Amino acid sequence: MIVEQQVYFMIQSDELDPGQITQYVGVEPTRSEAKESRRGRKSGRLLPPRHEWMLDSGLAETTSLNEQVEAVINQLAGAWDRIGELTADGAAATLVMLRSFEPGEHASPRGLFLDAEALSSLHRAGADLWIDEYDLS
């Protein structure tokens, strides 16, 4: 059974802080974190290693990954070329898809589908796709 599923788009940069990324992209992030703004609990190292700008789908964790991807893609509809300029200048852009599972009677089908429009938008932005799944059994 799926316990959690979440989709977000992340831009990471060594030079541009989250405010500068927001200004350039023209979309407010859901969350952001400045480079080396905190220490890791276990390592004590300064984290994160790069400035991070993240936009969540805004949908419940029970919403399908496909619907969450569509929500993120739609929120960034006018920004893909600007994101592509950032990645061309050294920033990293990633669509993150995360799911956690646990065993149970009501197991959900696993898998997802990205349509050509979603893939084209990611390609125009020079973005990667990251699918992260955990089996909590």
Give pLDDT tens digits along the chain (137 positions): 667 889 999 999 999 999 999 999 999 999 999 999 999 888 889 889 999 999 999 999 889 888 999 999 999 999 999 999 999 999 999 998 888 777 665 555 555 778 778 889 999 999 988 887 766 66
How far apart CA 90 and CA 28 sit, in angstroms, is 21
Query: Which pLDDT score, from 0 to 100, does residue 69 have?
Result: 93
Half-sphere exposure of 3 (CA within 13 A, CB side): 10
Q: Helices 80-88 & 116-125, crossing angle to 10 degrees?
A: 40
